[in-house]
Amino acid sequence: HEEEEEDEEEEEEEERRDKKEKKSKKDSKREESEEEEEEDTRKDKKDKKSKKDKKRDEEEDKEWRKEGKKDKKDRKGGSSSSSSRRREEERLPPPKLKPRQLGGDTRVKATYDAQASQDSQAKSPPCLVTVTLTNTGDCQLGPVTLSVAPSMNVRVSGAIPEVASLKQGESATIRVELQVASVNKPQKVKCTLKYEAVGEGAPAAPQQLPCELMLPCSAFLVPRPINPGEFDSLLANGACTHASSAVVEGTGRPFKHSLALLRLLLNLGVVEGMDGSASLYAVSIQGHHVLVLAKAKGGGTVSVDLRCSDEALSTQLCNEVSGLPLFVAQ
């Protein structure tokens, strides 16, 4: 009888062990299954996010191309008010940009303009700086010279000419060629303006005026001509992935004038122009592509979307666009 009881206890113990093992295996399987489900969920989310990002990029590129081609149809036979507005716009004088200030004193004033050379044969086109010197005093000046201190990023190419004589109220120009190593940030160049004055009240010693030449990134762009198909190809093939945007606040100017100012500021060429929008293009002296879409937003406000093959250059150019009103000649 005791043996039978022991056998029964052993059988019960075995059953408990079997149940425990089965439960353990079941729990383990369930945990594995849950982990696999979580991993699959994570993968699905990652794939969906990747597809979503890709789709968003494709949609942005399509939107860009769509915006550039929108309103392509010429609006002939428009309303009389539209024709009247166009006639008024044609009577307005073309807009201009103010020259940049270099330095000076009570006797001489120096301003400058900077643009990249458009010599397509040059391996490394220089930045051409035209300095305008104006005699604002009562004495005759001469000679007037400008010296430029070379740096790691900027050096002078060739000799800088001098102005032999500058009478009261007269202006003269000096052209300086600069080789630039880096085009994706503005370059500061230290200069010295030196002159001698002749006449009553003139200083006995030659005068030296330290000044600073600021070269914006737009001074390193060249407006190379391309057709709309080439523009679209550059946009579609991933050559210009860095995007920036800016808004030129409303000034009451017609879009045609705002577009002209934008071209002057960034040295851009028009690829295709429509009523209220335009696509523009330039290339840097180091081969960076710059694609621009300008669109009228009403009240003289213009939105500017820019794509570039260099991120820093894209940002700097949009900064210049934001400051456009500061350089417009009244």
CA gap 87, 316 in Å, rounded: 36
Specify the pLDDT at position 51. 63
- Determine the Cα–Cα distance for residues 62 and 57; give it in Å rounded to an integer: 9
Report pLDDT for 77: 43
Q: Picking from 97-111, 154-168, 251-265, which range would have the lowest pLDDT averaged per residue? A: 251-265
Label residue 276 left, alpha or beta by phi (over 0 means left) and psi (-120 to 50 means alpha): left
CATH of region 221-326:
3.30.310.10
Q: What is the per-residue pLDDT for 85?
A: 56
Which single residue is written with the structure tokens 């059988």? Answer: 11
254: preceding bond cis by omega (within 30 degrees)? no
pLDDT at 2 exceeding the cut of 60: no
Residue 148: Cβ within 10 Å count: 17
SS3 content of the chain, % helix, strand, coil (to 5): 35, 35, 30
pLDDT band at 24 (very low <50, low <70, confident <90, very high): low
Listed residue (109, 116, 68) closest to 283, CA to CA: 116
Mean pLDDT of 150-178: 95
The pair of structure tokens assigned to 188 is: 């500061």
Q: How would residue 79 be classed by pLDDT, with cut points 50, 70 and 90? A: very low
| Pairing assessment for the beta strands 207-215 and 269-274 based on DSSP bridges | unpaired
The structural domains of the chain, with segments of one domain joined by +, span: 100-215, 221-326
pLDDT over 70 percentage in the chain: 77
* Bigger pLDDT: 124 vs 245: 245
Q: Which positions ≥6 away from 27 have C-beta within 8 Å?
A: none
pLDDT in tens, 31-65: 677 777 777 777 766 666 566 656 665 666 666 65
Give tens-digit pLDDT for 189-226: 999 999 999 988 899 999 999 999 999 999 999 999 99
124: amino acid identity, one letter = S
C-alpha separations of 21 from 10, 15, 24 in Å:
16, 10, 5
Give the pLDDT confidence score for residue 93 in this predicted structure.
78
Topology (CATH level 3) of domain 100-215 = Immunoglobulin-like (2.60.40)
For the record, the structure tokens of 86 come out as 């166009």
